[in-house]
Amino acid sequence: MSNASVKLSQREAMLLEAARAHGFVDEEIIHKLRKGNPEPFLEIEEEKYDFTPLFSLYEEDFERLEEAIREGYTIKYTTFNGIKFLLNKRYGLETPRDYESGEDYLDSLKLTDQMLEWLRATISSNWRIVELERKAKSEEAVIRIEWNG
């Protein structure tokens, strides 16, 4: 799923996932970045995000950003709230509805194998993913994400 060879800042990853959550597909995001016009991104959550960092990264190294968008990425340093943001934008998961949240952990998350693979490849190594339960013949696991600083 993800080669995760490209490293992005958490902010860059969050902007990318916000655009995807808004309904923009990968090639559409790349096309909008190529044009250099941030206007289409302003409609995302009523101009809540400043997409300047993505445009700057695109100007600096468009090949790297296009690879991250198409093939996957790893976040250089992921924060607790960054993980919660990604889970929400990527999969619509929220606390306390979908998982429990402590001071430095997220608990009882139910993820498919595909979701779990993406999460493992994407978040930084300062977090540990622990598989708590796997139902027999299921492609779903219950996990805990904990600080591994």
**Domain locations in the chain as residue ranges:** 7-75, 80-147
Q: According to the model, what pLDDT value does residue 138 have? A: 86
Strands (E) in the chain, as ranges, are: 7-8, 74-75, 100-101, 105-112, 127-134, 140-147
Rounded CA-CA distance 128/99 in Å is 16
pLDDT band at 4 (very low <50, low <70, confident <90, very high): low
0.85 cut: is pTM over it?
yes
Q: Is residue 68 over pLDDT 70?
A: yes
